[in-house]
């Protein structure tokens, strides 16, 4: 159960206690009088995707995949569209089934490791990670471990104690396996976790595992992340507090007026 608060000008703040999945977000977001709202999730552990959630690696990802696609006579835009939120070997299998996926995956991974230009921490990422106990969160990424370690280093983030990577699962996102493994690594059921994701495939993975999900519209528009309980612009809109053994995540957001959506 999560507590959700919203504030309206000229009204006393109201507090409800109900499952987040049943809250009418569209009404809340489109209400012409609504200026600010807060949503509070309670969880035992937090599971973060890496690229697009903690780290901005989009320029590097697109450079690598465009180069690789061009070198094989493929449509770069179509390949890039497949690449976000999935293991690279699965992208290769999807767009070029005639190639040796394992061999090509080694090439792509090395190019991604070497391309560090523009790889930076996203707003609020370092602060949110630092506010959480190390044994209560994990990073669950479609990158391999060498690539994940490299990118977190480029972004100035500490590699977490708990990390699930592409080379440690049989089935990548949108399969629930990555997030099920992340929850198990922390000693909790996935249903006791909140997942932060930036792609439809990642959200599908988290939901299939049974977790609550929060989307970040860093890679895809908010409309494409409709499967999430809520969507934010960055982790700068999120704060965490450990209270009596439970993590309380507060989502802070603002809506200017009806029809203008989230900021």
E strand intervals along the chain: 2-7, 14-18, 36-43, 45-48, 55-56, 120-121, 137-140, 163-164, 193-197, 212-216, 230-232, 238-243, 246-254
| 75 tagged catalytic | no
Q: Locate 79 and state its tokens.
A: 């390949």
> Which of 71, 97, 98, 94 minimizes the C-alpha distance to 81?
94
Q: Locate 150 and state its tokens.
A: 């490299």
Start-to-end CA distance of the chain, whole Å, equals 25
Q: Positive or negative CA dihedral for 254, 46, 18, 24?
A: positive
Query: Within 10 Å of residue 225's Cβ, how many Cβ atoms?
Result: 23
| 167 tagged catalytic | no
Q: Locate 42 and state its tokens.
A: 């309670």
E strand intervals along 100-245: 120-121, 137-140, 163-164, 193-197, 212-216, 230-232, 238-243
Catalytic residues: 49, 51
């Amino acid at each position: 159960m999560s507590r959700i608060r919203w504030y309206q000008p000229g009204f006393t703040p109201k507090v409800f206690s109900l499952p987040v999945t049943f809250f009418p977000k569209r009404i809340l977001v489109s209400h012409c009088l609504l200026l600010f709202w807060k949503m509070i999730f309670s969880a035992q552990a937090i599971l973060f995707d890496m690229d697009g959630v903690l780290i901005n690696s989009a320029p590097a990802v697109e450079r690598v995949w465009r180069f690789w696609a061009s070198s094989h006579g493929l449509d770069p835009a179509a390949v890039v569209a497949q690449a976000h939120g999935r293991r690279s070997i699965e992208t290769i299998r999807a767009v070029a089934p005639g190639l040796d996926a394992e061999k090509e995956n080694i090439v792509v991974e090395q190019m991604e490791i070497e391309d560090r230009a523009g790889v930076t921490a996203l707003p609020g990422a370092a602060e949110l990670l630092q506010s959480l106990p190390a044994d209560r969160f994990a990073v669950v990424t479609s990158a391999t471990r060498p690539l994940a370690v490299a990118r977190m280093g480029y972004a100035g983030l500490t590699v977490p104690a708990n990390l699930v990577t592409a080379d440690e699962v049989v089935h990548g996102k949108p399969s629930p396996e990555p997030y099920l493994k992340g929850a198990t690594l922390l000693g909790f059921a996935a249903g006791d976790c909140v997942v932060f994701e930036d792609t439809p495939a990642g959200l599908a993975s988290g939901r299939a595992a049974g977790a609550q999900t929060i989307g970040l519209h860093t890679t895809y528009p908010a409309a494409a992340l409709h499967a999430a309980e809520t969507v934010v612009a960055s982790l700068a809109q999120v704060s965490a507090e450990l209270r009596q053994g439970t993590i309380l995540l507060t989502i802070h957001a603002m809506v200017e007026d009806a029809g203008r959506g989230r900021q």
